[in-house]
Structure 1
Amino acid sequence: MTYTVNCSILLTELPLLERPAAAKAAGFDAVEFWWPFETSVPTDVEVARFENAITDAGVQLTGLNFNAGDMPGGDRGLVSWPARSTEFQDNIDVVAGIGGRLGCKAFNALYGNRIDGETAEQQDAIGAENLATAAAAIARIGGTVLLEPVSGAPKYPLRKAQDALDVIVRVKQESDAENIKLLADFYHLAVNGDDVAAVIEKHAKDFGHIQIADNPGRGAPGTGQLPLGRWIARSRALGYEGSIGLEYKEPSETAFSWATRQRVSP
């Protein structure tokens, strides 16, 4: 099984740039991050420090988010946010640059909340245009743009897999983009009431990425009631060949205990 550690939600007791090395020390060779900077266009020094932390640790960056705004403050992406559309567009080349230098191929573009005073139609039109622009830039480095349903954000319009798939179809119809796929976060889908097993049966071969956490609590696998192992195995059987993103909340001391038990079990 190929796991990749999300260093934006795990190992948070450590400074951000120390987390790739900690993931490596825990036995993992791959990491992923939400946007690790405060602005869409960080300084060259900031970017170099981030890239060096990954290369020095000897891990592969497998996933990176576009700037999603102030996540702790409730923002969930800039893609469909009219007033910040330019900010998202400015972020695209920075993301592609990091991806090209580090060999990262998957980039999560959080769609954005509904904004008071803006119509859904206007936001969706801007969202489709921005996703097409991002996909074109990411295609130049052989990468894929991911679109993710999210839970816990009442104003975020993509809640179930079909919501995101509908946007993906629109982008493909309105542009030449073929490199935009569903990010299937099994935790978010389950919390939002989606039929995860049915989504897997219909779309597993087309998943761009899988992320996992257990429910309730968004904890480590085995702390809740979701059949994550069965869902992963079925996705594999139906053609998903990518990594599994570990995107859950757990103290560093016990963050990977389940994986240790899995490796030593018969």
Structure 2
Amino acid sequence: MSHARPQPHCGGAQPVGTRPNPVGFSAHASTMARDVPLPERLTVFARAGFDAFEIWWPFSTAAPSRRDVDKFLSLVAAYPLRLSGMNLYEGGSSSGARGLACIPEAAAALDSSIDVAAIVANETGCGTFNLLYGNVSADIDRDAADAAALTSFRKAVAVLRGPNTRIVLEHLSVGNNPNYPIRTPQQALDLLDGLDPDTRLHTSVLLDGYHIAADALDGESAAARLMASAEYAATAGHVQFADNPGRGAPGTGALPIGHFLRGVRAAGYTGSIGCEFVCTASTVSSVARSLTTLIDT
């Protein structure tokens, strides 16, 4: 089923030439404007001038019906926004799951979500898919878990590979994710380097400024950690950020977000930067205007 992109329905939107234009940023539909339904969220993003959005796994199960997949694809096609990134099935993030890559008994569920992601990629051109490692308990053999994770990445690459496709591995802060063992960009890179060279070409780290800073012990070290991490942007497959404390928009916390964003660009990263922060629908336009100022200052 093909989903041609119709004229945007952003009734009441300003003419394109007068809208704020946060070029290079991707609105995150799983954290921004969560106070309104997803269709209205996308309208809000388009009105604010975003041209791309990303999302966590957008279905309630690893194997949604084709009807549900087509409903999502139709929604994406109805807006002047490209889908720039999507998580693979995380196992139910609201219940505390943080991915399935390292869990052999979850292979069937992960395989189903990879197959669905292939449909999404073919229909939308989405090229970035986040495959989270998963939680591990103290009694789990980490070598075995790493081996299972590498197998998962090989499978994802085999199904989703394309000239512009990357399967990314995200590091998460320990405070909110105590059982997730990939806590730094370097740990993510070290794991991915265990792949064969051909598969490795299609994988990258997801650099997340919020998670870098959230593990710091005080404000000064948080800023230092954030700025030091920008060097990883040179080889990152995707970059996300949020202010801290609070995981809000820039300026709601204490992090030098502008310096970080400029460091990311200076390192050579040219992809979209994911706005994985929490804000209400009513503030999206003002946040969008501030983003361009932050990165151009």
Q: What's the TM-score, normalizing by structure 1?
A: 0.92
- SS of residue in 2 equivalent to 1:223: coil
Query: Cα distance, 1:95 vs. partner?
Result: 0.6
Unaligned runs of 5+ in 1: none
- SS of residue in 1 equivalent to 2:99: coil
Query: Cα distance, 1:229 vs. partner?
Result: 1.2
Asked if residue 243 in structure 1 is aligned to residue 266 in structure 2, the reply is no
Q: Paired residues, what number?
A: 264
Q: CA RMSD in A?
A: 2.0
Query: Cα distance, 1:119 vs. partner?
Result: 1.8
* Larger RCO (CA within 8 A; separation ≥ 6): 2
Residue identity matched to 1:168: L
- Runs of 4+ aligned structure 1 residues displaced above 4 Å come to 261-266
**Aligned in 2, Cα 1:11/1:258: closer, same or farther, shift over 3 Å?**
closer
- SS of residue in 1 equivalent to 2:240: strand
Distance 2:157 2:205 in 1: 13
Residue identity matched to 2:254: Q
Residue 46 of structure 1 corresponds to which residue in structure 2? 68
- Residue of structure 1 aligned with 2:185, choices 142, 161, 186: 161
| Cα offsets for 1:74-123 (capped at 9, x unmatched) | 00001111221221122112112201210111111111000465322221
**Aligned in 2, Cα 1:44/1:212: closer, same or farther, shift over 3 Å?**
same
- Choose 1 or 2 for highest CA Rg: 2
Residue 196 of structure 1 corresponds to which residue in structure 2? 226
User: Does the 8 Å CA contact 2:171/2:211 hold for their aligned counterparts?
Assistant: yes
User: Does the 8 Å CA contact 2:62/2:112 hold for their aligned counterparts?
Assistant: yes
Residue 5 of structure 1 corresponds to which residue in structure 2? 27
Q: What's the TM-score, normalizing by structure 2?
A: 0.83
Bigger mean CA deviation after superposition, 134-143 or 180-189: 134-143
Distance 1:89 1:229 in 2: 39
Residue 47 of structure 2 corresponds to which residue in structure 1? 25
Residue 263 of structure 2 corresponds to which residue in structure 1? 234
Asked if residue 187 in structure 1 is aligned to residue 210 in structure 2, the reply is yes
Distance 2:274 2:293 in 1: 21
**Aligned in 2, Cα 1:263/1:133: closer, same or farther, shift over 3 Å?**
closer
**Aligned in 2, Cα 1:140/1:262: closer, same or farther, shift over 3 Å?**
closer
| Cα offsets for 1:29-73 (capped at 9, x unmatched) | 111010010111111111111111111012100001100011111
Residue 224 of structure 1 corresponds to which residue in structure 2? 253
**Aligned in 2, Cα 1:23/1:262: closer, same or farther, shift over 3 Å?**
closer
Query: Cα distance, 1:8 vs. partner?
Result: 1.0
Bigger mean CA deviation after superposition, 206-215 or 188-197: 188-197
User: Does the 8 Å CA contact 1:21/1:54 hold for their aligned counterparts?
Assistant: no
Residue identity matched to 1:88: L
User: Does the 8 Å CA contact 1:160/1:192 hold for their aligned counterparts?
Assistant: no
Query: Cα distance, 1:261 vs. partner?
Result: 4.2
- SS of residue in 2 equivalent to 1:176: helix
User: Does the 8 Å CA contact 1:213/1:220 hold for their aligned counterparts?
Assistant: yes
Residue 120 of structure 1 corresponds to which residue in structure 2? 142
